[in-house]
Amino acid sequence: MRNDQEWTPPSSHDPNPSPPTADPTIRVTTSGKTTTVTPETLRQLPQRAVDNCLIVSTEHGASGPFTFAGATLLVVLERFAAGEWTVADIISADGFRTRVWRDELEARTERPILLALSIDGQPMGREHGLVRLIVPGEERDALRQVKWVSEVRVLDQPAASRP
Ligand SMILES: Nc1nc2c(c(=O)[nH]1)N[C@H]1C(S)=C(S)[C@@H](COP(=O)(O)O)O[C@H]1N2
Ligand SMILES: [Mo]
């Protein structure tokens, strides 16, 4: 049986260009508690903008630079995660995913990891990836720039499991 708490970063991935569903709702799941977070919920949290973000793709080169804005993932987790947590798996409606560690969220104060709602000052639509995880500075084929986030699964994982 597959252990959902184990995760290995992929080394490459063919990007999916089309929204898998129309629904931009995110479920934040922790042991014991599930919260539904909509783009409207995120808009009511403090907003941060990060400029100069590139989306780097092996196949198509880089796009950008873009300014993305939205709520920081750290603020969202501080608001909605229950209990102890060290890791959040960010999972999209098309099954793509990445993993974010609490210590990297806390360290990135200048260019925070976002749950982005807008691109270059314009509200993002589903075709742009709403709600999109933006990890500024990530240059490995955009493997952490997860479009269409549908679940944020909060876990308490030992630091030793970090690659
Ligand atoms: N949900 C989801 N997010 C994703 C992907 C995907 O297939 N599904 N592909 C990733 C990859 S490999 C790339 S290169 C970029 C492409 O982003 P773009 O569509 O904005 O150019 O999205 C990333 N985020
Ligand atoms: Mo990519």
Residue nearest to atom 19 of ligand 1 (CA): 17
More confident residue, 2 or 144: 144
Give residue-wise pLDDT tens across range 33-79: 999 999 999 999 999 999 999 999 877 789 999 999 999 999 999 99
Percentage of the chain beyond pLDDT 70 is 98
Which atom, in ligand 1's list, is nearest to the CA of 92? 1
The mean pLDDT of 117-146, rounded to a whole number, is 96
Lowest mean pLDDT among 87-91, 147-151, 157-161: 157-161
The mean pLDDT of 78-91, rounded to a whole number, is 94
The mean pLDDT of 132-149, rounded to a whole number, is 94
**Pocket around ligand 1: residues whose beta carbon is below 6 Å from it?**
13, 15-17, 55, 57, 63, 92, 94, 96, 141-143, 145-148
Residue nearest to atom 5 of ligand 1 (CA): 15
How far, in Å, from the CA of 10 to the mean position of ligand 1? Answer: 13
Give residue-wise pLDDT tens across range 93-104: 999 999 999 999
Lowest mean pLDDT among 4-13, 83-92, 127-136, 152-161: 4-13
How far, in Å, from the CA of 78 to the mean position of ligand 2? Answer: 30
Question: Closest-lying ligand to the alpha carbon of 54?
Answer: 1
> Of 11, 53, 54, 55, which is best to mutate to test ligand 1, by the most ligand atoms within 8 angstroms of its C-beta?
55
User: Are the C-beta atoms of residues 107 and 100 closer than 8 Å to each other?
Assistant: no
More confident residue, 8 or 43: 43
> Of 14, 16, 131, which is best to mutate to test ligand 1, by the most ligand atoms within 8 angstroms of its C-beta?
16
Pairing status of strand 122-123 against strand 87-92: unpaired
pLDDT score of 1: 38
Can you spell out the DSSP letters for the chain?
Answer: ---TT-----S--PPP-S-S-S---EEEEETTEEEEE-HHHHHTSPEEEEEEEEEEETTTEEEEEEEEEEEEHHHHHHHH--S--SEEEEEETTS-EEEEEHHHHHH-SSS--EEEEEETTEE--GGGTSSEEE-TT--STTTT--SSEEEEEEE---GGG--
What CA–CA distance (Å, rounded) separates 112 from 91?
19
More confident residue, 6 or 85: 85
Q: Is the pLDDT of residue 3 over 70?
A: no
Closest CA to 119 of 110, 129, 111, 109: 129
More confident residue, 161 or 157: 157
